Amino acid sequence: MTKLTLGAHPYLLGFEQLERLVERTAKSGNEGYPPYNIEQTSDRSYRITLALAGFREEDLSITVEDRQLVVRGRQQDDSAERVFLHRGIAARQFQRSFVLADGVDVGEASMENGLLHIDLNRTVPDAVVQEIKIRKG
C-alpha cells in the first residue's frame, strides 16, 4: 500500500507548499511564552495580542520572513545593580512565530498596557474565469 502525502494527492495539484507549511508550523515549538490571543475583528481582519509585561517598544522587533510573522523580544537585564529577595519576574528573551496565509498582510502594531497588538488584513482576490481554447491537432 502506498502512502499518499497531501502534496501528492491527485486532486490537489500544486499544494506541495501547504505540506511544507504544516511541517514548518509544527516545528516552531514556541513553548507557550509569551501568551497570546488571536481574534477575528471582521470578515477580513484579525488581531494578534501578546502579553508582554515589562517590555518596551525598543525591546521588540516585528518582521515578516518568508510568509512568517516573527516577534522577538529582549529585555535589558539590570539584575547586577539590584538585590532581589524574591525574583518571580524574569527578564528573558523570546521569539514567537505565526505563519501567514497568502493574501494576509500585516497592518500596524501598537503597544498598550503591556499588550502588543498586531493587526492583520486579508485581501480577497477577484474571481477570475478563464476560458481555455482547444487547439485542433
- The model's pLDDT over 46-84, given as tens digits with 9 standing for 90+, comes to 999 999 988 999 999 999 998 899 999 998 777 778 888
Task: Compare 12 and 115 and report the one with higher pLDDT.
Answer: 115
Q: Which of 33, 28, 52, 90 is nearest to 60 (CA)?
A: 52
Strands 36-42 and 104-112: unpaired
Residue 19 in this model has a pLDDT that exceeds 80:
no
Total Cβ atoms within 10 A of residue 121:
15
Residue 98 in this model has a pLDDT that exceeds 80:
yes
Residue 16 in this model has a pLDDT that exceeds 60:
yes
Residue 23 in this model has a pLDDT that exceeds 80:
no
CA distance 99 to 128: 26
Cell of 90: 524574569
| Domains, in order of start, for the chain | 30-122 (2.60.40.790)
Residues 6+ apart with CB under 8 A from 39: 46, 47, 49
pLDDT at 92: 81
Find the DSSP H helices in the chain. Answer: 16-27
Residue 7 confidence class, pLDDT cut points 50, 70, 90: low
Residue 79 phi/psi, 5-degree rounding, is -70, -20
